[in-house]
Amino acid sequence: MTDHSPNRLSPTPDGPFHAQGDIRVVTDDGDTVFEGNDTWLCRCGHSATKPFCDGSHERVGFADPGTLGKTPRPMEQPADGPLIITLRPNGPLRMSGPYTLAAPDGTTCDVADKGSLCRCGLSHTKPMCDGAHKESDFEG
Ligand code: FES
């Protein structure tokens, strides 16, 4: 039995987020850039095909173990429904809908309608955003 949401977002070691489930990625204006069950989203900030990973994390030597540090407060009950990932202009991935944040070490956190995840690569609280993009020239 699993209490986890079928939507899963996994920060991979030194690489992108792996998003699986009922996933929709939209711009801040509401335009859909991805709708499907499986995609890889850049979290190093250097992809030429943002929001998607193009392998640039290897070229730039992006280093992050993908472990969960400061995570959103867990949701009280598992829920179904799509996970909408909104691309904040020059900022983080804003999560809306149920999902399980799953680290490579097996740690998980079930979340609903919360969370801003770093995609500039500079946050000190990865995988969460800490606002570091504001002090950088990150564009995406
Ligand atoms: S994480 Fe792969 S290009 Fe950024």
| CATH, residue 22 | 3.40.5.90
pLDDT confidence of residue 79: 74
pLDDT confidence of residue 60: 97
Atom of ligand 1 nearest to the CA of 43: 1
* Tokens at 55, concatenated: 């392998």
Question: Mind giving me the DSSP string for 33-72?
Answer: EEEEEEEEE--SS--TTTTB--SHHHHHT--------S-P
Number of domains composing the chain: 1
pLDDT confidence of residue 7: 95
**Taking the model in full, what pTM does it have?**
0.93
Residues of the chain with pLDDT under 50: 1
What residues are in contact with ligand 1 under a 6 Å CB criterion?
15-16, 42-44, 46-47, 53-57
Q: What distance in angstroms lies between residue 111's CA and the mean position of ligand 1's atoms?
A: 24
In a domain, 139, yes or no: no
Parent domain of 70: 8-132
In a domain, 67, yes or no: yes
Q: How far apart are CA 85 and CA 56, in angstroms?
A: 21
The tens digit of pLDDT for each residue in 39-72 reads 999 999 999 999 999 999 999 999 999 999 777 7
Contact 83, 21 (CB under 8 A): yes
